[in-house]
Structure 1
Amino acid sequence: MASSEITLEAVPSIGEVSPEDWDTCANPGSACNGSGKGTSSRLVGNSTVLLRPVYNPFVSHAFLSAAENSGSATARTGWGPRHLIAKLDSRVAGVVPCYLKSHSQGEYVFDRGWADAYARAGGRYYPKLQVSVPFTPATGPRLLIRDGVDRERVASALASGLIALCGASKASSVHVTFAREAEWELLAEHGFLQRTDQQFHWHNEGFATFDDFLATLNSRHRKSIKRERRDALAAGITIHWLTGSDITEEAWDAFFDFYMETGSRKWGRPYLTREFFSLIGETMSNDVLLVMARRNHRWIAGAINFIGSDTLFGRNWGAIEHHQFLHFEVCYYQAIDFAIKHGLKHVEAGAQGEHKIARGYLPRTTHSAHFIADPGLRRAIDDYLKRERAYVAEAGRELTELGPFRKDAEEAP
C-alpha cells in the first residue's frame, strides 16, 4: 500500500495552528489541557512527580504565541513568522517554528560576519530564515513531530521543506539554531552545514541539598561560593521564589523594570515587551519561576526561569540596586537550589559566561545547522566551520579541566 503524501505549507502566524495540533507535535506525550498549556513536573510533598515524560516550554504554543501576540516577534521587529506545517492525511504531523528575518539580532548564534562578507562581495544576506525560539538560547527540538507517524519521513520532509521555503522566500539561507544533536545530524544529510558552540550547564548528580553539591567542589571554590552567598544577602536582602498564582501583575511590573534597566544598558533595546510577560503569566505561569530579591520592603532584582520536565532554563536578569554577588545568587545558586529541591536534572543558565565554571556550571556543546543557498558563500562558510568546530571542541576540553570539582586525591570536607 502506497504511503500517504506529506503536504507542506508556511503560515504567517502561529495563531493559524490550533494549540492542540501544535503542542501534540512540540511536546508529544505531554499532558496538555484544552488551552494548550502543559503541566510540568511539580513538587508533591517531598517528591517530584513528572506529569509528562518530556516537556520543553519554549516550543509550546503558549510561549511562541505570547512572543507574537505581544509584538515582540513580528514582521515589524524583524521576526516575520513563516512557520512550516507538514500534514499527513489532512492532519498536522509536524511543525517548525520559523521566521523570516531582516537582521541577526536576538539569536545568540552569531552570523554578522557572514552577512558583512556577503555584502562586500555584492550579495544580499537578508532576508534569511531562522528556525529558533525568538530571543531564547536554549537547546530544544526544532523539527517538531507528533507521535504515531513515521518520524524520519516527516523530519526529512520538513528539512526539504525548509530548503524549498528558502527559495520561495528569496532568502539567502536557513539557520536552525540550538537544535538537538540528532536533528543536527539529520539536517547535515540534507545539505545543511554544521556549527557548534558552547554554553555552561549545571548537572544534578542526585544531590539532596545544596551542601551535597558543595561537597563535590574543591576547598577553594567551596569556600568562595559560601562567601558569595553570604555577602550577596548582607544588606538585609531576602530571596523569594514565585511561580503559578504567586506571580502577580505587581511582580511582573517590578521584573519588567529590572529587565528594561539592565537590558537597556547591555543591548540598547530589550526585545520583549511588557505584554509578553502578562501573556505568559496568563497561559503558562506554572512553567515560570521568578527568583526575586527584596530589600526594605520592595523588589530590587530578579531573574526569570522556565521549568521543563527535567531542566530549569535560566533566561533574563535585571536589578535596580546593585549589590556584590547578588547576580550570582539570584541567577546561579538559587537555580541550583530550586533544581535540587524539585528533582530537576539540569540547569541551563543561558548563553556565554566562562565565569559560570567557578560556580559549578561546565561546558556543554550546542548545535546549529545552516543551509546557504549561494555556492561560493557556502564553500567559504563550510571551511570556516571546520576550523571553528575543532576550536570549540578543544576549548571545551580545556575549560572542563578548569572546573571547580574535587580531584580524586582531595579529601571530602
Structure 2
Amino acid sequence: MTLLWLAFAILLLPALWLLVAPLRRAAALRRAQADFEANDRTAEQNVDIYRRRLASLEAARERGELDAARFEEDRLELERSLLDDTATLERGPLKAAASGKVVVPLVMVALVAASVFWYRLEGAEGDLALYRIQQQVAQDAEATLPELIERLEEQAARQPDNPNVWRSLFPLYRDSGRVARADAALTRLLELEGREPWLLAELAQLRYFAAGRELTDGVQALADEALAADPGQPTVLGMLGIEAFEGGDYEAAIDRWRRAIAGMDDPQSAEALREGIRVAQRRLGVASEPAGEGPGIRVRVSLDPALAERVAPDAAVFVVARDTAGERPPLAVARTTVGALPATLTLDDSDAMAPMARLSDVEQARLVVRVSSSGQAEPRPGDLWGRREAVPVGEPAGEPAEVVIDRVVE
C-alpha cells in the first residue's frame, strides 16, 4: 500500500503545480498591467474623436445643412457615445501580487483530501489488501491454510460488504471441511451479488453433500431456481445426475451429465462425468466406447481477427455437430473459451447429449461454432458464429476441419 499511496502522491504533484504556477507569474503580470494602464491613451483619443465630430456638426449647421433641432439631436448622440466609450475605461485599483495566496494552500489541501476521500469511496483498497495477503502467504514457505483463512476472516470483519472477501473464503472453507462457514460465505455472497445461477448452484451442491447426498426440499428449490435462470447450469446438472445415478435411474443420470459436460470449462470435471456416463451405460447393458475412440470429427476453431475486439477472452465458445438434415438433436457438443482459440477439438460419441443422437449414427455432420458472451447455449443477438457443412465422420486422426467464426447473430 505504501507504493500505491506514493504513486497517488506523484500523480497529484502536477495538479498541485498547476495551482501554484499562476502565483509565480503574478508579480510580472501586475507590473505589465500597471504599465499598460499608466500609458493607456484611449480616453484622450475618444475625446479627440468627439471634438472632431462636434466641429463637423457645427460646420454643417453654419452652412445651413442642419437645422437647430437636428443639430441638437446629433450632438446629444455624440455625447452619449462618448460617455459609453469612457465608462468602460473606468478601472479599479490593482490588487497586490500576493493577494489571494492564502487560498491556494487551502485549495491544495482540499484537492488532496477530496482525492483520498474519492479513492476510499470508489477505489479497490480492500481488493488490494486481499491480494497482498494472498501473495504474502504464497511466498511464505511456512504459511498454512488455517493462517490464510484467519487473515481473510480479519478482512471479512473489516470489509463485510466486499464480495471478493467471501468469494475467497468460500472455497477455503469448503475444501477444509468447514461446511457451515462455507454455507454462510455463499449466503453472504448471494446477499451482495444477487441470486446468480452459479451461486445458487454452488449452494445447492454444498447443502446436498452436507445432507449426505439427500435431495432435500431446500436443495431442490435452489436447483430449480438455478435451472430456471440457466437451463444448462453444469454444477446443478452434475448434482442431479449423481442423484439419479444413486437412485438407479441411469438414463436420467446420463442425460444430465451430458448436458452438464456441454456447459463445463474444466476438462478434468468433464472427464469425470464422462467416466460416470460409461459406468451408467455398462449398468444399462449398453456398450460404451473408450474415451477418445470411435468415429468422430477433429475440428480446428479460429476467430476472425476483425471480430476479436467484440468479445472477452473468457466468453464461452460452443462447438456443435448436427445432422445435415437438421432433424435430430445435437449429435455432439464441446465447449471452450475465446482465449483458448485457435483450438483443435475432437468430437465423438462421448460428447453426445442424448443416446439416440450420436455422431457415429451419421456419415456427415454440419459443424456450427458460436461465441456466447452470456454463457447461454441459446443464440442471442450479438453472438458470433461460424459453420461448415457436410464434414465427414470417421477416424478423428486426420486433418482437422477448419471452422472460422466470422459472422454475427442478428
TM (normalized to structure 2)? 0.24
Q: Which has the higher helix share?
A: 2
Point out which structure has higher relative CO (alpha carbons under 8 A, 6+ apart).
1
Greater Rg by CA: 2
